[in-house]
Every structure is written in C-alpha cells, then in structure tokens.
Structure 1
Amino acid sequence: MPETTTAETGTGQPQSAPGPDGTGTGARRTRIPLARLRDFALIPAVIVIAIVGQIVNPIFLQGDNLINILQTMSEVSLLVLAQTIILVAGKMDLSLESTFGLAPGVAAWLTVAAGTGAGLGVVPGAWAVPITLIIGALIGAVNALFIVRFGLNGFIVTLGMLITLRGLLTGISGGQTFFNLPPSMLYLGSATWLGVPVSIWLCLILFVAGIVLLGFTRFGRALYAIGGNVDAAKAAGIRTDRVLTIALITASLLAAVGGLLLAGRLASVAAAQGNGAIFNVFAAAVIGGVSLNGGKGTMFGAFTGVLLLYMIQNVLTLAGVPAQWIQALNGVIILIALVISRLTGGKSQE
C-alpha cells in the first residue's frame, strides 16, 4: 500500500492527505472540527469572567469600563500578535518589549522641541510616525541578521537586544519622560472613530489581518511548516530564511505601532516604557494555545488569551486587589495553562 502523507493545516495540526475524490479521509474530517473548536476554547472562560466581574462590581459590563479594557489591552495585544507570528515559526523575540519603548522614544527624542520633554527638536513633528516605523523595522532587520543570516540562538540574540534597546532608551531620554509630543504621535492613541478609540479599531483590524495571514495564505502555511519541522519545510521548497526574516521585521513593526498607541494615549514616552510587558505577552499567548515549540496556535486563540488576561486584571482591580498580586496571578495563569495543555494535548508547551 502507498504511504499516507501528511500536511500542515492552518492550525499547525497534521492532516491526512485527500482521497481520490478530493476530500479528506475520516481522520482529516475529524481533526478540522476539533481544531476549529480549540479556537473557541477560551470563550466560556471569557463569559464566566464577565459574570464574575459583574458580581464583583456592577460597573464591569458598563460601556466605559469595557472600552477601557479594550483600549488598555490594544497596545500590548499588538505585542501578542507579533509574538504569535514568531512563536508559530518556532522562534521567540524577547526584544519586542524594548522595541515597544525605543521606537516611539527615538521619534519623540528627535521631534520634541529642544528644552521641553528632553527632546532635540531636530526633525519636524510630521516625521514622528515614519521614524517610529523605521526604527521598528531596523530592529527587526538586525534580529533577522543575527538569527537567520548568522544562525545564532534567537533567545540569546533577542535577550541581548532587549537589554541593549532598553539601555538606549534610558540613554537618549536621560532617564526622563518625553512629553509635549507632536500631534501625529498622539492621534492613534487618543482619537476616536464612531465613539470608539482608534487604537481599538486598529487592534481589531490587525488581528483580523493576522487571522487571514496565518489561516488562509501561503505565507501563513510556511510559518506553520517552519515551526513544525524546518528541515522538512526546506525540503518542500519553502524559502525559510526569507519567511523568517519577514516575520521578524513584521513583528518589530507591530511592536513599534503598539508603543505608538501607548504614547498617544498617555501623551508621553517614559524611559521605562514596555519594561516587563513581555511577561504579559507570553502569558496571553500560552493561555491562547500558542505553543512555545512552534507550529501550533492561532491568532484568534492569542486574541482571546490577551482579552481574558486583561479582563481578569480588571476584575481584580475593581475588587481592590493590590497590583503586586495581579502580577503574581499572571505567573499562576501561565502554569495553569501549561497544565491544561498537558492534559488536553498530551504534550507540554515547553
């Protein structure tokens, strides 16, 4: 009998090859619904937290509080989106949290008028957004150079970049906060469309684009294939170096946009912007079912992960729980998610 071949689905799960009639085997027909079901695994938890939040404090489900949750999570959610792209490809980028701070920090440094807000004022304010995006792309390109071109360990490279970028932001700001930002830096984080902050619209649009990218494009299938088995991906003709380079640059660009959203909402860029954000990012990704081994996870799962995380934090805040306990909870949530992954999937998210 001929051997049965396998291929990667949009969720990173293997599927049986299609039969002569063009349809899949019974195993394939079973796995697709199960994969789709996993995408919605956190929806019951989101509903439960919403009910608990309403019981804890009646303002939880009011429009203003829901908008506050979505706007607050929109900035970090772009880091989650970026990290998901990298994790699916079997890599990780710790430097995203520093890009989140440095990219808008450099833009503020160059555009804020000299003598106010620690700026130099050497570039017109209209250039603030392009500068932010350029810095984000450059950081991603440097990461790709070390990881893809030189074949260095991604964890160590991005850890080194995290420390370097954090030091650069502290250096150019002198440890101060940039303020009096140009209007172009404030728009995305402060404007509203149809009564809803632009940052929320942008977050939703980018996540929809991410869902389409991973689930319905050749590039997305290539990311899953690389994360599943990079040697097999190369044998299949996938240009792995090119795909990984694009993924790393795209992730850094998304981190820069996320930092721009926060800068616009707060009307400032702090010297410590982004510090510690990577812990929430990994917590949300793991909760959402994204594997740290690569090749598994969906963008919708990542979105529900960050939504659940911020809903829990909001409930605890409304309940008067101290901030330090909320941080401790993030670690507990990660451990619980790993245990659930082990029990349901038969393999931990190492």
Structure 2
Amino acid sequence: MTTSVEGAKAGPATQPEPPQPTAWAMIRNSTALRELSLLPAIFVVMVLGFILSPQFLTVNNLLNNVLVNSAVLGVVVVAESIILISGYFDLSLESIVGFIPMIAAWLSVPSALGGLGIELPAVATIAIGFVIAGLIGLLNGYLVAKLKLNAFMVTLAMLIFLRGITMGVSAGQTLSGLPTPLLWLGRTSILGISVQVWLFVLIFALAWLIMRNHPIGRRLYAMGGNEAAAEAAGIRTTRMTIAVFVTGALIAAFAGFMLTGRIASATSNQGDGLIFTVFAAAVIGGISLNGGKGSMIGAFLGVIILGMVDNILTLSRVPSYWVQATYGFIILAALVVNRFASQREHRRSV
C-alpha cells in the first residue's frame, strides 16, 4: 500500500522581493531635487532682502542690477565648473577676463587713447583675442595633461603672467573710447532686458544640456570621478583635459568682452579677485573641488545667491570690505554643509 504525501514535491523557494522605496524616498534621492536644493536658501535671502530694503524685490532691481551684475560672474562660473567637474581647476580665468579685452582694445584704439596706434578693426581684434585665449588654454592644458604639472601651480603662474602683461600693455591705465563692436555686449537689449542676462541664461542652459545629456558631459564626469578608470574605459583623458582648459579660456574671454562692454572700457585691473567669487558660487552650488560631482543648475543658483547677497549689501549701504567677509563666511558654510551632505549620502548608500 502506498501512501501519498501532499506537497511532497514542493516548487523552488521564492526569494522575498526587496522593499520598494517610498514615494518620498524617491523624491528625496532624485537628481532634480539635489540640483534645486538651494531654492529654499534663495527664498530666505529674498525675504531678508525685502525686510532690509523694499526696493530689493522690484522687477527693475532684480533684472537690471542682480542679473546684469551677475552675468559676467555666471559665465566664468560655467567655465570653472566644467573644469572642476573634470577633476582640475583653473586660477588663470580671472586674468583672461582682463587680458583678452585689453589686448583687443590696445590693438584697436589710437595711440592718443593709450593704444598701440595701428587701429585694427574691432572685429579683427576680437578674433585675435579669442585665438590668444585658445592658445592660453592650450598651453595650460598641455602642461597639466602631457607634462603632468600641478594644475594649481600652472594656472597660478599663468594668472600672474597675464596680469603682468595686462599692466605692462596698458601702463596701468584704463583704455576708453572703444569702438562700437567692443561695446555691443554692454549696450544691447532684447525685449527690454540686457543681452547680458540672455547670454548668462543661455550659456548656463547649454552647459547644463551638454554636461547632463551629451556623451562629452558624461565623459567629463567620469574623468573627474576617477581619471585612471576613465582612461581604462577608453576615454582619451589627455585630449579631453586639454579641450577642457581651452574651452574654459574661450568662455572666460567671452566673459571679459561682456564686462568691457558693460563698463565701456578696458581697465588694467579688470577681473582681479574674480576667481574667489567664482569658486564661492561653484562651491555653494555643490560643485565638488575633488571632481566628478555637481551640476550646472546648482552652480547657476549659487551665482544667483551671491548676486542677491551683493545687491542686498549694496542697498543696505554696507561697506565693500564686508562683502568679502560675507563671501568667505558663505564659502565656509557651504563647505561644511556639503561635507555633511556627502557623509549622509555615503551612509545611505552603504
């Protein structure tokens, strides 16, 4: 007599399904939310600005003061952010902002106004300026990528070198009476808004699209995260590094022409000290100084915050030397916040 046992042949054991993340966890960990994490800070700054000066929240002030004054800074921040994400940094961008427009002005204005006296067409001098900027970036990139020199020392030396040439060419003077093409970026408006604001937003949007969606952007993030691994994966890191420095120099030169157009002159100290504010905006926006992390949207919001803080201090008649102290405090606070945020993300991923 046979005895049957029900369920003697049991099926394969099923693995329990991993718990699904909650909707709030998905929102909290989303890239978009991290990129927009500065929005609450911007709201707080706007409220404080309105309390300190009701004029702060007027459309005229926000468009013609905050955004226009932030445009040049923002364009240079784009250049520096791309370089930082790639794993390097370039201190010489601030000198390029002053050196390239000075060369263009020097070649185009008459000797009576401090120029060389050959009075080349302004369009030609602008083109020459961009060629020189490209060569500066090429030299920086070659020294860093091919000769493996320290990026800090290379770009610091280039900063000092270009600043000295700018002072020598101009004899420490301001060149004015510039031809119209050199002033176009400061005198043109579209729909009643300065072209500098449109360029500021457009350049950030293009940089965001490239860094977020284009293969070049993904390669730059990979190179900044781990250059050896990126090279092993087939990324030509040497070529990419040189290209990044050239791109940064060209963008900085464009920012220099924007600044020259706005102030209608080329000054011997143009751009001096700008790099500190550039790093401040990038760090506040979450760009990692170690490379491979950060977003262009975050950098954009960092520029907006600094622009608003500067405008609030100006409207409140705070002495200019306190502005630098404020920027230093903001940088330290941003570094601390980013450090704790990185540690929290690391614990959550373990």
TM-score of the superposition, structure 2-length normalised?
Answer: 0.89
The C-alpha deviation readout for 1:261-313, integer Å capped at 9, x for no partner, is 01001000110000000000000000000000000000010000011011011
Matched, 1:224 2:221: yes
The C-alpha deviation readout for 1:78-118, integer Å capped at 9, x for no partner, is 11000000000110000000001001110001011221144
- Which residue of the other structure, out of 154, 167, 170, is the alignment partner of 2:167? 170
Q: CA deviation at 1:135?
A: 2.0
Which residue number corresponds to residue 300 of structure 2?
303
**Bigger radius of gyration, 1 or 2?**
2
- Which residue of the other structure, out of 282, 286, 300, is the alignment partner of 1:285? 282
The gaps in structure 1 that reach 5 residues or longer are 1-24
Cα separation, 2, equivalents of 1:282 and 1:56: 27
Q: CA deviation at 1:347?
A: 8.5
Residues 118 and 177, structure 1, Cα contact 8 Å, conserved in 2 = no
Which residue number corresponds to residue 53 of structure 1?
49
Q: Describe the SS at the equivalent of 2:55.
A: coil
The C-alpha deviation readout for 1:119-169, integer Å capped at 9, x for no partner, is 433412232321222222111111112111211111110000000000010
Tell me how many residue pairs correspond in the alignment.
323
Q: Describe the SS at the equivalent of 2:103.
A: helix
* Letter aligned with residue 81 of structure 1: V
Superposed, which structure 2 residues align to 1:97-116 within 5 Å? 97-116=94-113
Which residue number corresponds to residue 198 of structure 1?
195
Root mean square deviation, CA, Å: 1.8
Cα separation, 2, equivalents of 1:113 and 1:243: 41
Q: Percent identity?
A: 44
- Which residue of the other structure, out of 322, 325, 349, is the alignment partner of 2:322? 325
Deviates more, 1:219-228 or 1:118-127: 118-127
* Letter aligned with residue 52 of structure 2: V
Residues 186 and 263, structure 1, Cα contact 8 Å, conserved in 2 = yes
Cα separation, 1, equivalents of 2:84 and 2:102: 26
Residues 95 and 272, structure 2, Cα contact 8 Å, conserved in 1 = yes
Matched, 1:66 2:85: no
The gaps in structure 2 that reach 5 residues or longer are 1-19, 346-350
Q: 1:149 to 1:343 in 2, by over 3 A?
A: same
- Which residue of the other structure, out of 133, 147, 151, is the alignment partner of 2:148? 151
Cα separation, 2, equivalents of 1:118 and 1:107: 10
Cα separation, 1, equivalents of 2:28 and 2:128: 43
Superposed, which structure 2 residues align to 1:114-153 within 5 Å? 114-153=111-150
Residues 107 and 115, structure 2, Cα contact 8 Å, conserved in 1 = no
Which residue number corresponds to residue 244 of structure 1?
241
Q: 1:238 to 1:206 in 2, by over 3 A?
A: same
Q: 1:225 to 1:162 in 2, by over 3 A?
A: same
